[in-house]
Structure 1
Amino acid sequence: MAIATGRMALSFLAAALAAGTLNARLPQDSLRGEAAAQRLLASRAQLGLDGDHAFLLRGAHTDQLGQAHAHFQQTYKGVKVWGGDVITHTGKDGAELPLTNALLKGIQLNVTPALGSAEALAVVQGDLAPKGAYAYAPTTELVVYPEMAEVVRRAGKATADLNAEDVSRQVLRYTLAYHVHTELENDQDGIKHTDYLVDAHTGAILKTWNTLHTTAATGTGNSQYNGTVSLPTNYTGTTYELRDTTRGTGGSFGNNVVTNMAHAATTSTATGTLYTDADNTWGDGANYVEGSSTTAANGETAAVDAMFGMIKSWDYYKNVHTRNGIDGAGTATYSRVHISNSYDNAFWSDSCFCMTYGDGSSFTTLTALDVAGHEMSHGVCARTANLTYSGESGGLNESNSDIFGTMIEFYARGGSGSTIGNTGGNWTIGEQLATNPLRWMYKPSLDGSSPDAWSSTVGNLDVHYSSGPMNRCFYFLSQGATTSGNTSTTYLPSGMTGIGNDAAARIWFRALSVYMTSSTNYAGARTAAINAAKDLYGAGSAQEQAVWNAFHGINVGAAWTSGSSDTTAPTVSATESGTSGTITFSATASDNVGVTKVEFYVDGALKGSDTTSPYSMTLDSTTLTNASHTLTAKAYDAAGNVGTSTGVSFTVSNATSGAELVLNGGFESGATSWTQTSGVIGTFTGEPAHGGSYDAWMCGYGSAHTDYVYQQIAIPSTATGTLTFWLHVDTAETTTTTAYDTMKVQVLNTSGTVLATLATYSNLNKNTGYTQQSLSLSAYKGQTIRLRFYSVEDSSLQTSFVIDDVSVK
């Protein structure tokens, strides 16, 4: 470790300034977020805000489209404005895109409270009347709370005829309040997470709601079996731990683990005891027998299912949505099983950053796969839109977990790679826990309490019921609607065609992570999903039309009509000339309103574009393998409609002597042909490229972090197999003797097993520019390997490893 006695952890900005010319890494997302904050401050007048308002950056990320998004919390005189959010969006070219604006205006308020936080806590204590101890100390935060009323925009409409877009929220008054969050988890009170808004002047309770992010509902349950599964474990030398060393770092245990609560209230132990086993064979596949040992084979079964759920949920978010864990930064979580006695629930807690499962009474053990995915998805929501867990936003929060719990089930049982697939899962929640499911996504009202469509009273329901319409909307979006039966709706008498799990899930995840705010309601979710569909598939696309229709199917907004947008896609055809050296791609394209851009793809990978007719581009064919390839062209119009050409086959046949084996070795096509951890390949002002504009920048965060980039290459049996690349290392470490941060050059087989480490570089190799490195791959002639650059940074003082112009000839 690089933490020496007396070394202080620096704030993000302080660490950056302290490094000076050593260039402590300011991640591009954070730099863009800071720039966005400055633009917001400069635009306050245009946004209807005065100088008392400011913005706190909640998070920033760059998505797979190259767009940057920064989510800000509104403040007034330094106090958080409840529900006041704004999200900035920047195009790949740096152009500013329209804001997602949930800012609140007209605030005129004295923000000096008459009551202290201790007095607000006393009010809550009196109302809650706890019999036992809190699991975590209650938290208080001063906020500006907008007391709202719903107003019907279209006067004269009967309540039963209202559509979600007929109703708007209007601020009646602003009140200075304390937001108090409590978590009771003990044998006397049971498990209760309750939030309050308390008037900071009078002590009146303005609002209270249950914030226990649960899956189960009282009165249903049964057992869960995943059959024989492969589990990641860790051998200590004497025993095996139920620890996944391949997913997640940091957190309470350093990795994703499962712990045994042994029927104790969580106030008796913060985390539980890590599960261990002597022979690495876990569980007996049978439901837990209440009162028996929690460490015997029968007691281990709950831990097996909990770990399996964490694995599949983690892989789903990483592989499908390129999200590194719950928080997007790879922070490890853990699951606690056997909580209390016969506890009929499962829940996520942000305070411990963990999942907790009961053994059940009317339920059997609550570690079903879709339940595990549901709970982890509450954590994802908390770190993206952070939908408030009450009212319509609370229903959307709960539905979000149902949606992704379902998608995780489909992915685990029928998907692969980045594809979710449409088989293996089902459209009910918790069906393996009971004779009857907890919820039916395709027909929510089958549970007797959930509505099938939006109404003006949906926000008054418990969030597990107000989630129903959104669950059904997502089902329609993915699977379509019929004209009769449980999968039909009177709002779509002719039914609709779904777009499948993959497109539907990607639209919903982008809507959640890019466009939704803490106060988003059903109408806002529709807008967010439409924007996401346009981004991913183009304006007027079949996917956008499906979003319109699916929401209309639950009484939120209008159905798609031919006048909604220009839906005519351009027509395009492609040709290729040349077999070696510089080759040329050409296209002809036309559209009813005009073509704005043509993109050229080889084997599905974008190679370039042209905005002027005649459309063409050239390519160095040595960046392609000597083989047959397929060229396609995509033409875009101003409305975002996309036309795709039929594939054109062509052959590359460069001389093999000295042929380049690495594709996109200079990274100028971004991540094309490479697999990377998020954000490694790009253009960085802090770490300029050796050649061109792009490079691969690993680590440099000044905190515990792991990055990698790799490519699979086939080395001919006659090749000398020499790897060259340019390396730049800068560091804030001052030691001249200890390697705290490292980057390894490794050879792996196609299954991901490390065959050899060719070289290791560290903070001791720091230099002022790039130096070329040369390593032999001759031992791997005639083999297909993964060439991987793998870097690990410790928890203090940054080291950046930057590579460029990778070549194997």
Structure 2
Amino acid sequence: MAFGATVAATLAVAPGAAATGAPAAADPAGRVSRAVVAEQAKVADAARTLGLGSGQKLSVKSVVRDADGTQFVRYNRTYQGLPVIGGDLVVERSKAGSTRSVRWNAAKSIAVSTRPKLTGAQASSRAAGGASTLVVYAGESSSRLAWDVVRDGVKADQTPSRLHTVVDATTGATLDSWDEVVEGTGNTMYSGTVTLGTTQSGGSYQLKDAVGNYTTDLGGGTTGTGTLFTDADDVWGDGTPGNRQTAAADAQFGAEKTFDYYKNVQGRNGIWDTGVGARSRVHYGSSYSNAFWDGTQMTYGDGAGNVRPLTSLDVAGHEMSHGVTENTAGLAYRGDAGGLNEATSDIFGTAVEWYAATAADPGDYLIGEKINIRGNGTPLRYMDQPSKDGASQDCWSSTTKRLDPHYSSGPLNHWFFMASEGSGAKTINGVNYNSPTCGGAPAVTGAGRANIEKVWYRTLSTKLTSRSDYPAAREGAIASAKELYGSGSAVCQSVQSAFDAIAVPKGSQTC
């Protein structure tokens, strides 16, 4: 999130293994669901059914099961034991186990020599240093042997960095690059007086709820897990930044409400869908105007002058939703996929704000309106007309993929507003909006935010892959709307017309 002059940044993500396409490792923290374990036992049969070539093996990343028994199983791949970047795919199966459809991220076929001409050290040198791992890169039209060079560091604005640079193992050309960490009863600063889940331990209380969402104090540091907040009377903070517990109360409330939203609205049991909560770290760095998700936890700075912590409800929902994206579609944080990733966090950060329905921070279609990151009282982003921030696009085009994800997110945010509320001028919950269509497209009639939230979550969890673009998002969302509400439904029509209204071209899916 480096806001400053570029205002590009906020609300971050770490694609990690999900973006690389590498198999998920065993997780001692209990973040692998029983459904994933059960499907992992069947991967050899699945590979044969899919007709994968010699040397290809599957690893189960996630499983989504519908009420009628339909399953969407998401896989990563290896080739001759090497991780395949961009090799992820989603298989839809009937209750009886027959394959209905397969959504390939890239080509089904992988055939490369596994003997590199460049050494790992040579690749590392070309990528300005870092540890190198031999991989197969299938993120584009054809597969190539490559080195994934990972360099850890810290950016000038204090944001940690884990930069991946994919180097062709034959020519030495750079094929791809992304950063895993991208610029993302309590008396809170932004949500008023709220109820928090805490745990009694001896004669004091811990800021930790029943499912394991908990908050720690980094004390201005930038490393480590921080110190768990404890309190003698179970009253946290006083609503001012001068009390260290205030930011913790906001962060904890955001984590709890986001967990509840996904469980109660979307049927997802936390970030990893296993009922396990996550850690929130507050008071990161000094005057750090950012927040991020790093693959395991949410982290929040205290903002300019250490008096505007980035712990508002929509920011917390945004960061935690990056974790959900990482553990579903794994959208890579660059190109169109990066914009879809960032917009997904805006969409569900907004959804969490509406779900929480606090008097101090009522639901709206503005992003970061409470944190005053620009210092002039304006929001960070506007979903009704994203270009009002001075950099985001309202409409999709072939140039969208060249933008920073915080700006290429604009078209999908615009789609979400119009599909939910319709185009044109309107006042919602006391806020005035005016959402234009692109290129003279017809006006859009909204189908209701709650319906569109469900359509987008289904798209994310069952249709998209790590390199999906806006046309793939259109195809997936229309298919999801038909599955949830029917092909002739008003919801499907709104989903389709809103994609028309952000200039994403028509594909094979129609209502």
So what's the TM-score if we normalise by structure 1?
Answer: 0.54
Gaps of 5+ in 2: 1-24, 27-32, 427-432
Q: What SS does structure 1 have at the residue aligned with 2:436?
A: coil
The answer to whether 1:311 aligns with 2:256 is yes
Structure 2 residue 212 is the aligned partner of structure 1 residue 261: no
Moved more, 224-233 or 428-437: 224-233
- What secondary structure does 2:258 align onto? helix
**Residue matched to 2:268:** 323
Q: How does 1:622-641 map to 2 (within 5 A)?
A: none
Could you tell me how far 1:401 is from its partner in structure 2?
Answer: 0.4
Cα 1:428/1:183, change in 2 over 3 Å: farther
- Partner of 1:519 in structure 2? 467
The SS at the match of 2:194 is coil
1:438 corresponds to: 380
Alpha-carbon displacement from aligned partner over 1:27-83 (angstroms, at most 9, x marks no partner)? 566445654752442442xxxx53243333222231344311111223333323322
Q: Please tell me whether the aligned partners of residues 480 and 497 of structure 1 are also in contact (alpha carbons under 8 angstroms).
A: yes
Alignment-mate amino acid for residue 474 of structure 1 = F
Residues 390-419 of structure 1: CA distance to partner in whole angstroms, max 9, x if unpaired? 11001101111000000000000179xxxx
User: In 1, are the aligned partners of 2:43 and 2:58 still within 8 Å (CA)?
Assistant: no
- 1:175 paired with 2:175, answer no
1:234 aligns with 2:199: yes
Q: 1:449 maps to which residue?
A: 391
Shift of 1:200: 2.8
Matching of residues 715-794 of structure 1 within 5 Å? none
How big is the shift at 1:212? Answer: 2.4
Residue 177 of structure 1, CA deviation: 1.3
1:472 pairs, out of 414, 418, 436, with: 414
Q: Does 1:75 align with 2:78?
A: yes
Contact 2:475 2:508 in 1 (8 A): no
Q: Distance in 1 between matches of 2:215 and 2:34?
A: 32
Output the CA distance in 2 between the equivalents of 1:106 and 1:240: 56
* Higher gyration radius (CA): 1
Rate the CA distance shift 1:498–1:93 in 2: closer, same or farther, 3 A: farther
Counterpart position of 2:103: 100
2:457 counterpart of 1:509: yes
8 Å contact kept, 1:241–1:274: yes
The number of residues matched between the two structures is 466
SS in 2 for 1:73: strand
Equivalent residue for 1:405, pick from 325, 337, 349: 349
Supply the distance in 2 between the matched residues of 1:533 and 1:458 (Cα, whole angstroms).
25
Change (3 A) 1:321 1:183: farther
Instruction: Give the alignment of 1:625-704 within 5 angstroms.
Output: none
Q: 1:520 to 1:227 in 2, by over 3 A?
A: same
Any conservation in 2 of the 1:338–1:357 contact (CA below 8 Å)? yes
- Aligned residue for 1:88? 91
Question: Can you list the C-alpha shifts for 1:110-161, whole angstroms capped at 9, x where unaligned?
Answer: 11234554554454454xxxxxxxxxxx76442222474xxxxxxxxxxxxx
User: Is structure 2 residue 171 aligned with structure 1 residue 198?
Assistant: no
1:126-525 superposed matches below 5 A: 126=129, 140-146=132-138, 148=140, 171=141, 174-185=143-154, 190-201=159-170, 203-215=172-184, 224-244=189-209, 246-247=210-211, 255-266=212-223, 270-288=224-242, 298-350=243-295, 353-361=296-304, 364-413=308-357, 424-434=362-372, 435-482=377-424, 486-491=434-439, 493-525=441-473
Counterpart of 1:280 in structure 2: which amino acid?
Answer: D
Q: Distance in 2 between matches of 1:68 and 1:554?
A: 31
CA distance in 2, matches of 1:474, 1:447: 17
Larger strand proportion, structure 1 or 2? 1
Aligned-residue offset at 1:208: 2.5
Distance in 2 between residues matched to 1:87 and 1:346, nearest whole Å: 31
Measured at CA, do residues 28 and 306 of structure 1 come closer, stay the same or move farther in structure 2, by a change above 3 Å? closer
Residues 455-491 of structure 1 deviation map (CA, whole Å, 9 limit, x = unaligned): 1110000000000000111111111112898312144
- What percentage of aligned pairs have identical amino acids? 41
- Which has a greater percent of helix? 2
How far, CA to CA, are the matches of 2:203 and 2:225 in structure 1? 23
**Structure 1 unaligned residues grouped into runs of 5+:** 1-10, 13-25, 127-137, 149-170, 216-222, 248-254, 289-297, 416-422, 566-809
Q: For residue 386 of structure 1, report the CA deviation from its aligned partner.
A: 0.5
Q: Which amino acid aligns with 2:45?
A: Q
Higher relative contact order (CA 8 A, sep 6+): 2
C-alpha offsets along residues 522-571 of structure 1, whole Å, 9 cap, x if unaligned?
0001111111111111222222221111111111134999xx56xxxxxx
2:35–2:63 Cα contact (<8 Å) kept:
no
Q: What is the alpha-carbon distance in structure 2 between the residues aligned to residue 483 and residue 233 of structure 1?
A: 43
- TM-score in terms of structure 2 length: 0.84
Give the C-alpha shift of residue 238 in structure 1: 2.4
Letter in 2 for 1:338: H
Conserved? CA contact 1:142–1:177, under 8 Å: yes
Please report the RMSD computed on the Cα atoms of aligned residues, expressed in angstroms: 2.9
Letter paired with 1:471? N
Deviation at 1:510, TM superposition (A): 0.6
Deviation at 1:315, TM superposition (A): 0.3
The one-character-per-residue Cα deviations of 1:559-602 (angstroms, maximum 9, x if unpaired) are 999xx56xxxxxxxxxxxxxxxxxxxxxxxxxxxxxxxxxxxxx
